[in-house]
Amino acid sequence: MALDRWLALAILAIALIYGYTAFFTMDAGLPPFMRRNPVWPSTFPKILSVLAVLTALAIVLGFEKSDGPKASEINYRRLQDYKIGQALTLLGLMVAYALLLRPAGFLPATTGFLAIGAMVLGERRFHILIPVVLIAAVGIWYLVQQVLGIYLRPWPFFLGNGA
């Protein structure tokens, strides 16, 4: 079996576990007044799990296959030709972002993640990069905090009110 089918099989297993959780365990703790709502907190996870299962099944069963390999497809026999270092660095940066989000605060963690991520990908025009990163981080924080009403600690705990 080809690499894409093995990966699709792993994604299928994850999607089935996610779907089981979304369909059978997420709604058990809902308060009675929420059970009458047309949209529950598990609605999006249910849709996402069904789409993931269908897509993974299509790949595992080979419905997406064409006549032969195209030049734009990834050749797993020549992985050393790709920029694996950049990909692994970005994955490590994502893990560091997730770990630093609470202690460092949203704005410093997001600004650092976006700036370092752009530099890893090759951006060298810092006079453009820094304002764009700052506008993006502050804009996302404003939308989540003020528009959606979800509290995000913007600064490290020692600079704020400690909440």
d(CA 143, CA 16): 33
Other CB atoms within a 10 A radius of the CB of residue 144 amount to 14
Same domain, 91 and 139: yes
Backbone angles phi, psi at 70, to 5 degrees: -100, 165
Q: Structural domain of residue 110, as residue ranges?
A: 84-147
Q: What is the pLDDT of residue 82?
A: 76
Q: What's the half-sphere exposure (Cβ side, CA atoms, 13 Å) at 25?
A: 5
Same domain, 64 and 14: yes
Provide the whole-model pTM. 0.55
Q: What is the pLDDT of residue 140?
A: 92
pLDDT band at 1 (very low <50, low <70, confident <90, very high): low
Other CB atoms within a 10 A radius of the CB of residue 150 amount to 9
Calculate the average pLDDT of the chain.
Answer: 84
Same domain, 141 and 93: yes
- Examine residue 161 and state whether it is found in any structural domain, yes or no: no
Read off the pLDDT of residues 122-157 as tens digits, 9 standing for 90 and up. Answer: 888 999 999 999 999 999 999 988 888 888 788 887
Q: What is the pLDDT of residue 24?
A: 83
Number of domains within the chain = 2
Q: What is the pLDDT of residue 69?
A: 56
Return the minimum-mean-pLDDT range out of 16-20, 74-78, 116-120.
74-78
Read off the pLDDT of residues 74-85 as tens digits, 9 standing for 90 and up. Answer: 666 666 777 888
Same domain, 9 and 60: yes
Same domain, 52 and 103: no
Q: What is the pLDDT of residue 48?
A: 93
d(CA 28, CA 68): 48
Same domain, 9 and 61: yes
- Examine residue 26 and state whether it is found in any structural domain, yes or no: yes
- Examine residue 90 and state whether it is found in any structural domain, yes or no: yes
Same domain, 65 and 95: no
- Examine residue 37 and state whether it is found in any structural domain, yes or no: yes
Q: Which single residue is written with the structure tokens 């940066």? A: 93
Read off the pLDDT of residues 47-77 as tens digits, 9 standing for 90 and up. Answer: 999 999 999 998 888 877 665 556 666 666 6
d(CA 43, CA 62): 29
Amino acid identity of residue 50, one-letter, is V
Instruction: Write the DSSP string, the chain.
Output: --HHHHHHHHHHHHHHHHHHIIIIITTTT--GGGGG-SS-TTHHHHHHHHHHHHHHHHHHTTTT--SS--TTS--GGGGGGS-HHHHHHHHHHHHHHHHHHHHH-HHHHHHHHHHHHHHHTT---HHHHHHHHHHHHHHHHHIIIIIS------S-TTTS---
Same domain, 8 and 54: yes
- Examine residue 102 and state whether it is found in any structural domain, yes or no: yes
d(CA 158, CA 46): 39
